[in-house]
Every structure is written in structure tokens, then in C-alpha cells.
């Protein structure tokens, strides 16, 4: 798959776009002025793999908190770039709080709500000038929930004169793209180069989001931040996001991604980071931790032993990832581990994986065969706990022998 050529943008300690890995980002969901809680959540998100973290900056309290959040994060060894999310009053806050403007690594500007009429251009210009003064990049982030109504009206009027050749939905998508492209042009005219501009055009409907980014990718060379906005909760939110992101990423479109998941009450915000990472890993675009291949099970493996072992190995691989990284093992993130339920596909999948366990199905000999690099290396026996223990030892050995520094 050929990646779309985009102009790289340096954001704090990472670079988005160009040939750089597709970056994962996320956003906090607590009051920014709560410095302690913000620092804690930014660290959690960064530890989970978020390479940029956005915080809302909606008022004086939030703007005042940003420099302290940044300071405490750096003191605690967390260098993740921070993005300020501005709506309505960003021009005022960025000018009133220069330390906030300096502490942030990027500003998100929403052209749909920077102001109206004459104020719109003035406010937009004020934000871009702060970015230039502080040598910071921006994201021009249009969103169909807060679309620039002036652009929309103009396109609707043109369409009416043109016998309504396009549907209202098509005009909304066109308006998103026009708003983004015109804003890039304006920012360039004010003096901000494309090396400082990331762009996004988020929609909550997957097909609309795909169309908007396809059009946008043809109309600019800027690095693109992808997201299905307001994806929803749980399985729906995860699949909705995955569907939208995957189609675009497979076409080579997208330099950074976010999963906009509504968290279930009490659930960690890091869920959205895990989904984004899994999308990239499932597409083979990035590798974060070893993956497990396990069959769905069927009438040939009705016991829970197979399910328990698959779960145990999954957890084991997640736990071990940071330890193996710290020990300096190289390339283990691409390792494939199979846990299979019976003889039908078990030996085949286990041989294809780096290391695999082919369990006995109902009525088969109670032998669990281990394959490594396509060859049978051991036969294990026992219950789920014993088999997990033996198999994890063999995985450890495999990592030490295949991925040492």
C-alpha cells in the first residue's frame, strides 16, 4: 500500500506525516484546571501509547493550568506533546496567557467557531499569529457538528442555483473540505507554512467521514489527522471507528489517528488508545505488542480450557511487552502466538505463527502440541493453569533466543 505524500509537521518530540509512523493520539476528559488529575490522566494515556494528548482549554482557569501541567509532566519524565483544544475564545486565551501558548506543543483551531462575520477572520488571524510567534504548529480541525455556517450557506445557495444537483449531505461534506482548505490558505497568507499545519475533517457517519477525507487528501498536501467524531460507546464505537479509519489507512490516507470513544462509566480513558493501536497493528502498519491468533472455538472444543488459556496468554503478552522492551529485545512486537482449539486448524495455524499451542478438541488424545518456527517442539499435558505455565515458559525462551539485542 502506497502512503499519501504529506508534509511532515514537528509537534514537540514527534513528527507527524511524511514517512513517519502513523501517530496515535487521545484527549483527556477531566477539567483541565484540575492540575493533579490532568497530569495523572495525561501520564496514563501516554503510558498506554498515546503519542500526543489533547486537553480542552475553554477558559481562564484552563489556560492558567496548562503551564503547570506541562511543568509537572516534564518533572515526572513525561514528554508527551500537549495539544490545546480551543473553541470560541482561543484567540483571547492564547493572547491573554502567553505562558499557556508557550507551554502547549500545538493548538487545535476549529474554523467553524472561531467567530462570525468580520470577527471570524480577525480571531483566526490572532490565533495563527500566536502560533507563528511561538513557533508552534496548529491543527485546523473542522467538524461537521460545528461546521462553518457561512461556507455551508454559500455552497447551499450555489447548489440551489445549479438546480440542486447535489444532495444536502454532499454539500455538507463539500463545506467541510472547503472550510479546511480555505483555512489552510488563510493561515499560509498570514505567514504560517504547511510544515506547521495538520488538518482534519471529522464526521460521525463513517461513509461521510471517508468521503470528506478522500476529497481533502486530494486538495492539500498537509498531514492529516483522522477520526470518526462522536463514535459512540463500546463495541459500536470501536467498530465504527475501525471501519472509518481502516478504509482510509488502507488507501494510504492518514498521518495520525484518534478513536473518539464514549467511555463506559468507570472505564479507563485508555480504552480509546488501545483501539487506535489495535487498528494500526491489525492493518500491519505498526507493531506495538505480540499478537495472539486464537480460533473462535466450536462444537469440537466445548470445554473452557481453551478459552482460559487464550485469555491467559493474551494477558501474559500484554504484561510482558514493557518488560521485554526495557530489556532491549528487538522486534518481538511482531511475534505471532497461536492458541488453537483442535486438530482441524490447530497445527496449521500454530505452524504459521512464531510459536503456537494446538490444544486437543473433544474426544482427541489429551496432548497439547507446541510448535515453534513451524516445527513441533514439545507435547504438554495438564489443566488450563498447568498448560498456561508451561506454554508461557516456552514463549519466554522463544523471545530470549530470537529477539535479544
In the complex, what is the shortest distance from the CB of residue 352 to ligand SF4, in angstroms, rounded to a whole number? 13
Q: Which of 290/361 has CB closer to ligand SF4? A: 361
Q: Which of 62/297 has CB closer to ligand SF4? A: 297
DSSP state of 76: T
Q: Which of 111/346 has CB closer to ligand SF4? A: 346
Taking CB under 6 A as the rule, which mask of x and - marks residues 97-126 in contact with ligand SF4?
Answer: ------------------------------
Q: Which of 128/340 has CB closer to ligand SF4? A: 340
C-alpha–C-alpha distance, residues 357 and 368, integer Å: 7
330: buried, middle or exposed (CB in 10 Å: 19+, 13-18, 0-12)? Answer: exposed
Tell whether residue 301 is a contact of ligand SF4 (CB under 6 A): yes
Question: Is residue 169 classed as helix, strand or coil in its secondary structure?
Answer: helix
The answer to whether the CB of 309 falls within 8 A of the CB of 357 is yes
Q: Which of 229/301 has CB closer to ligand SF4? A: 301
Tell whether residue 345 is a contact of ligand SF4 (CB under 6 A): yes
Nearest by Cα to 260 from 27, 22, 23: 27
Question: Is residue 379 classed as helix, strand or coil in its secondary structure?
Answer: strand
Q: Which of 244/360 has CB closer to ligand SF4? A: 360
355-358 and 336-340 beta bridge pairing: parallel
Q: How many residues does the chain have?
A: 405
**Of residues 48, 172, 340, 357, which one binds ligand SF4 by CB under 6 A?**
340
**Of residues 231, 275, 313, 342, which one binds ligand SF4 by CB under 6 A?**
342
Tell whether residue 297 is a contact of ligand SF4 (CB under 6 A): yes
Tell whether residue 307 is a contact of ligand SF4 (CB under 6 A): no
The strand order across the sheet containing 375-380 reads 291-294, 336-340, 355-358, 368-372, 375-380
C-alpha–C-alpha distance, residues 393 and 381, integer Å: 14
Tell whether residue 184 is a contact of ligand SF4 (CB under 6 A): no
Tell whether residue 348 is a contact of ligand SF4 (CB under 6 A): no
82-86 and 355-358 beta bridge pairing: unpaired
Tell whether residue 244 is a contact of ligand SF4 (CB under 6 A): no
Q: Which residues contribute to the site for ligand SF4 (CB under 6 A)? A: 295-298, 300-301, 340-342, 344-346, 361
Amino acid at each position: 500500500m502506497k502512503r499519501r505524500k504529506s508534509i511532515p509537521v514537528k509537534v514537540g518530540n514527534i513528527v507527524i506525516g511524511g514517512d513517519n509512523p502513523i501517530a496515535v493520539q487521545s484527549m483527556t476528559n477531566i477539567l483541565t484546571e484540575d492540575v493533579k488529575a490532568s497530569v495523572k490522566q495525561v501520564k496514563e494515556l501516554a503510558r498506554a501509547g498515546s503519542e500526543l494528548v489533547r486537553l480542552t482549554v475553554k477558559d481562564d482557569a484552563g489556560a492558567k493550568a496548562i503551564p503547570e501541567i506541562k511543568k509537572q509532566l516534564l518533572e515526572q519524565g513525561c514528554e508527551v506533546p500537549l495539544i490545546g483544544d480551543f473553541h470560541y475564545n482561543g484567540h483571547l486565551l492564547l493572547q491573554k496567557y502567553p505562558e499557556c501558548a508557550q507551554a502547549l506543543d500545538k493548538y487545535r483551531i476549529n474554523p467553524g467557531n472561531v467567530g462570525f462575520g468580520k470577527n471570524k477572520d480577525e480571531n483566526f488571524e490572532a490565533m495563527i499569529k500566536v502560533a507563528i510567534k511561538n513557533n508552534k504548529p496548529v491543527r485546523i480541525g473542522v467538524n461537521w457538528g460545528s461546521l462553518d455556517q457561512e461556507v455551508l450557506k454559500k455552497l447551499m445557495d450555489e447548489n440551489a442555483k445549479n438546480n440542486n444537483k447535489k444532495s444536502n449531505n454532499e454539500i455538507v461534506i463539500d463545506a467541510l473540505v472547503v472550510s479546511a482548505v480555505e483555512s489552510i490558505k488563510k493561515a499560509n497568507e498570514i505567514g504560517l507554512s504547511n510544515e506547521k499545519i495538520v488538518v482534519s475533517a471529522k464526521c460521525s457517519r463513517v461513509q461521510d467521514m471517508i468521503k470528506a477525507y478522500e476529497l481533502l487528501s486530494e486538495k492539500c498536501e498537509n498531514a492529516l489527522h483522522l477520526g470518526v467524531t462522536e463514535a459512540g460507546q463500546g463495541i459500536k464505537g470501536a467498530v465504527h471507528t475501525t471501519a472509518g479509519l481502516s478504509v482510509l489507512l488502507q488507501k494510504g490516507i492518514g498521518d495520525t489517528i484518534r478513536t473518539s470513544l464514549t467511555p463506559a462509566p468507570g472505564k479507563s480513558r485508555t480504552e480509546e488508545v488501545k483501539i487506535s493501536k489495535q487498528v494500526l497493528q491489525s492493518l500491519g502498519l505498526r507493531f506495538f505488542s505480540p499478537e495472539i491468533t486464537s480460533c473462535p472455538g466450536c462444537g469440537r472444543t466445548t470445554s473452557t480450557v481453551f478459552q482460559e488459556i487464550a485469555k491467559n496468554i493474551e494477558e501474559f503478552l500484554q504484561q510482558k511487552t514493557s518488560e521485554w522492551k526495557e530489556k532491549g529485545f528487538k522486534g518481538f512486537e511482531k511475534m505471532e502466538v497461536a492458541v488453537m482449539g483442535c486438530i482441524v486448524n490447530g497445527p496449521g495455524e500454530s505452524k504459521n505463527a512464531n510459536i503456537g499451542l494446538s490444544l486437543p478438541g473433544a474426544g482427541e488424545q489429551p496432548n497439547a502440541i507446541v510448535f515453534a518456527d513451524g516445527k513441533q517442539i514439545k507435547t504438554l499435558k495438564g489443566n488450563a493453569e498447568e498448560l498456561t505455565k508451561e506454554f508461557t515458559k516456552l514463549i519466554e525462551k522463544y523471545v530470549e533466543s530470537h529477539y535479544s539485542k
